[in-house]
Structure 1
Amino acid sequence: MDTTPQAGASAEPVVQWGKVSALVGGQAMAQGGSFVLLIAMNWTAVQLGGTGAVSALMLAATLPRALMLIFGGAVADVLGPRFVLLRTTAARVVVLVAGTAVVFVAEHLWQLAVIAVLDGVLLGLGGPASSGLMPQFAKREHLSRANSLYAMVLRVAPIVGAPVGAWLIAVGHLWHALLVASITSGIWLACLLYVTQGMSRPRHEPGTPLVKRSADGFRLLARNPRLRWMFIASFCLDLAFGWPVEVALPLLVSERGWGVGAVGVVIAAFSAGALGSSALGAMLAHRISLFVRLVVTGAGIAVGILVMAVMPSVVTLSVVSCLVGLLSGFNGPAIVTVYQQSAPDSKMGAAMSTLALAGIGTGPISIAVFSSLSLALGIQATWMLCGVVALISPLSAFMALRHPSLADEPAADDEAATGERAGTDEPAGGEGSGPVRTEKAAVSEPSPAPASV
């Protein structure tokens, strides 16, 4: 593996595989514990108050998290990822341990709601800082491999965590699941102590209030066309995929009399495809053209979503679902990689908060919009409409690749002639593929290089 520094660059290796492994391993534990807790809390809520209780609990967890994502990016940029992550993760361990003790005594819905709100706030504050860590340890084309490895962990977490959570509730109590989540969060905290060692806080910028900086991510989208097009690409895919998976799939299965087991088979097929391609991407992503990973796979996903609506059997629907998952395993990490490489280091937290909102914020919108349309168009026609909306994603990704990836300041050194960005060593057009970057005007004197991403 290439871990040698570039000539004339600092002694920092291109890839710090030890820290990448610790980051991915710690996140695997944390995500697995979160899914254990999610299943256990939702099932407990059903027992305490039925469907209404589950809806209230989900709102208690998701709304604070979405709101805090807006401020979480600004906080990470002002205080630094180490400061934010160590404190939010430590606070989460305290909340989960306290919740374990409280629920051990008695289980009430209001207790679950308080735990969900506090957990959502802490996850929202720490999320952008966590998302901005990987570019610190993997640079150039290897960032794609690291992000694919990270995506694989996110695929595995629900596969492992969900059944464990269900088993803990079946044979034990909610406090068992809370205890497991506390332990996995503690492991994540230990990993963070290692991977963020040596990171310093950013230079303080007086006179800029945090509320104003919370909009930095949206200001970046306004002035950086590459980020803006990638945001649209991510948003449209999530918008097009939310309603079919969460609402339309069970309705379509019921309408065709296939049985509820078909839903699980289709989702499992998608997860298997995504897991396999994420694993493949961790090894070979740097050898696959960025144009293929973004534009071609995005078009394939859109066509797959459209075709899924007309599949005549569970087998064919599962096969197409697996293929869509396979393409998603390449497309998702590529979007994250381009976003990370296109954002200036000083605004990385703000940039990642907007990308997170593109995912978290689209679920309710997708369900509300397409559920309303399905009343007039029907399930199958609305599902096909989702496929048409998804086609916007590869078009937006193509437009993004036509724009250069800019940092805080232009670097005028020998690398500029080859289209590489100083500090990140990013090849022209994004990892050596796709359209070539437009060169900036020649500068007679070298300007300071931006901070390394």
Structure 2
Amino acid sequence: MTTTVIPPAAQAPGRPAHRDGNVLRWLGAYTASMIGDNVFYIALSWAAVQSGTPSQAGLVMAVSAVPRALLMLGGGVVADRFGPRRVVIGSDAVRCAAVLTVAALLFVASPGLWLLALLAVVFGIVDAVFMPAVGALPARVTGRDQLARVQGMRGLAVRFANVAGAPLGGLGVALGGSATAFALAGLLIAVSVPLLISVRMREPVSAVGDGASTADVVADADDTPGDPEDVPAGVDESGTPARVPDGPAATPERPAPATAWRDLRDGLRYIRGHRVLAPLIVAIALGDLGFVGPLNVGLALLADQRGWGASGMGLVVAAFGAGAGAAALLLAWRGTLPRAGSAGAAALLCGSVAIGALAYVPGVGAAVGVALAIGLLAGLSGALCGALLQTQSEPAYLGRVTAVAGIVSLGLAPLSMPLTAAAIGWWGTGPVFVASAVVCGLGGVVALGVRDLRRAELPR
């Protein structure tokens, strides 16, 4: 029997994402929500410091991470089951109501830390379903050939939200305390709801057929339609991801019931068996684990050790942000980059070298230059990895794929920060930065070492 690879179906070129009103409405909603998030955390930290000790304030700020990390896999199932748009709208509505309620209570009373901790927990629970849904939504607002550009636009929105959110939060605190800042955060999140309601959803296009970068699609030489061998594993004849029978209760006459636990296992099995997504998530995990510690707590300790001061550290952080923003702008402008898998791996490897070098630069000026390079390379690798996640995933699994990647970035990587601080106390900044760079570089090695990921391309 001879086999051939079925080429992907031709797609009619659509309107570029940056000129598509539907995409721009989604981007406006996402930006408003992200700015609201930044204002919220400024308000929460200020209120916690005013209501308790520094250690208590730290606990309030950290408590939201626990439910987010524990529940995010379930959030991916929810996003895939109920649709990402519905989940994002519901999540923003709940977050808006919770923040405005706390703002109203703070205007009339001083409830104390318990209310702030409860609000942080609610935010963490809602974020567990919000973040996977946000990751799955772009595939339903634009075509696959525009997903890389949308990823760049999303990166620009995140950078803008980070820059604008802190001053807005500080302004709210200055004008009326934490209650005013919470009210401002709630209103900004509320802006996203009508914008999201106005966004039109489109039927996502299957990722099957992207050549060696996805599951093989084979056909018999006789090209008999409907032959089971003509479709990839996990996808039925209609192109819909198929459920694998599980246990004696699953028969052709009585299929196994679709439960949330079953959906979760199907998603994990899909990722594990995918020749691009599985190594890609490993590469993302290693990159984040090696990056987060040095560029957060490690940078503060390095600045203090070298005598750069707060202004010097601010310049280094600003340079990193500028580099990351430039990478996002490049992808938003170009829409795609050739050899995305190899380019992302190379950027990750070069960025890891720059991370190790940061601990040995002679002064602030050199540190600013190295930080600019780190931001550019890390931003480029992150944007390309995110775009590959979007384009390589079957739409029916995208929420769960995003959830697994999010657990790595938002659950495991932050754990490296206290470890980095302790390790610097034992061995100093240089060895720890180098060790972190090695971990980060391993992500690039994985990406280059796996043929299908190395050859992965973005749609044109």
TM-score normalised per structure 2 = 0.81
Q: Does 1:20 align with 2:23?
A: yes
Cα deviation, residue 359, structure 1: 0.7
The answer as to 2:363 corresponding to 1:313 is yes
Q: Secondary structure at the match of 1:430?
A: coil
Q: Which residue type is aligned with residue 43 of structure 1?
A: W
State which of 308, 314, 332 in structure 2 corresponds to 1:258: 308
Identity, in percent, stands at 26
Of residues 7-16 and 369-378 in structure 1, the stretch that sits farther from structure 2 once superposed is 7-16
1:185 aligns with 2:189: yes
Superposed displacement of residue 403, structure 1:
5.0
Match for 1:80 among 40, 64, 83? 83
Q: CA deviation at 1:374?
A: 3.1
Q: Deviations over 1:287-341 (max 9, x none)?
A: 4541453022111211110110101101101110011111222211110111122
* Corresponding residue pairs, total: 403
- What is the CA distance between 1:390 and its match in structure 2? 1.0
- Distance, in Å, in 1 between the alignment partners of 2:429 and 2:379 is 26
After superposition, residues 143-182 of structure 1 pair within 5 angstroms as: 143-182=147-186
SS at 2:457 equivalent: helix
> Matched residues in 1 for 2:421 and 2:265: separation?
31
1:96 aligns with 2:146: no
**Contact 1:36 / 1:162 at 8 angstroms: preserved in 2?**
yes
Structure 1 residues 320 and 403: CA distance shift in structure 2, 3 A: closer
Q: Which amino acid in structure 2 is aligned with residue 183 of structure 1?
A: L
Alignment check: 8 A CA contact 2:72 2:129 kept: yes
- What letter corresponds to residue 142 of structure 2 in structure 1? A
Give the drift of 1:8: 7.7
Contact in 2 for aligned 1:74/1:216 (Cα 8 Å): no
> Which residue is 1:131 aligned to?
135
Q: Does 1:383 align with 2:404?
A: no
1:218 paired with 2:221, answer no
How far did 1:261 drift?
Answer: 2.0
Moved more, 138-147 or 335-344: 138-147
Q: CA separation in 2, counterparts of 1:60 and 1:199? A: 38
8 Å CA contact 1:40–1:165 kept in 2: the answer is: yes
Distance 1:337 1:296 in 2: 16
Q: Does 1:325 align with 2:352?
A: no
- Give distance in 1, aligned partners of 2:341 and 2:269: 26
Partner deviation per Cα, 1:58-81 (whole Å, 9 max, x = no partner) = 222221222231111001111222
Whether the 8 Å CA contact 1:302–1:387 is kept in 2: the answer is yes
What is the alpha-carbon distance in structure 1 between the residues aligned to residue 386 and residue 318 of structure 2?
A: 24
Aligned to 1:418: none
The CA deviation at 1:44 is 1.9
Structure 1 residues 14 and 403: alpha-carbon distance in aligned structure 2, compared to 1, 3 A threshold = farther
User: Could you tell me how far 1:31 is from its partner in structure 2?
Assistant: 0.5
**Residue deviations 1:264-298, cap 9 Å, x none?**
11111100111122112210142454145302211
Say which of 392, 417, 424 aligns to 1:342.
Answer: 392
Q: 2:141 is aligned with what amino acid?
A: F
- Report the Cα offset of residue 83 of structure 1: 2.8
> 1:267, 1:10 → 2: CA distance?
41
2:222 alignment counterpart: none
Q: Does residue 442 of structure 2 align to residue 431 of structure 1?
A: no
Say if 1:96 and 1:400 are closer, same or farther in 2 by CA, change over 3 A: farther
TM-score normalised by L of structure 1:
0.82
C-alpha contact 2:325 2:379 (8 A) present in aligned 1 = yes
Q: Which residue of 2 aligns with 1:393?
A: 443
- Could you tell me how far apart the structure 1 residues matched to 2:136 and 2:104 are? 33
5+ residue gaps, structure 1, are 1-6, 405-427, 434-453
Q: Provide the rounded CA distance (Å) in 2 between the counterparts of 1:256 and 1:174.
A: 35
Question: 1:67 and 2:70 equivalent?
Answer: yes
> Separation in 2 of the partners of 1:55 and 1:112?
12
Cα deviation 1:200-232 (Å, max 9, x = unaligned): 9x9998613213423444323321131111111
1:119 positional shift:
1.7
Q: Which stretch shows the higher mean deviation, 119-128 or 371-380?
A: 371-380
Q: Is the 8 A contact 2:64 2:121 kept in 1?
A: yes
Q: CA RMSD in A?
A: 2.6
Instruction: Output the CA distance in 2 between the equivalents of 1:14 and 1:345.
Output: 21
Task: Show structure 2 runs of 5+ residues with no match.
Answer: 1-7, 205-239, 244-255
Kept after mapping to 2: 8 A contact 1:82/1:196: no
Rounded Cα–Cα distance in structure 2 between residues aligned with 1:403 and 1:362:
23
Paired position in structure 2 for 1:109: 113
Pick one of 346, 361, 385 that aligns with 2:411: 361
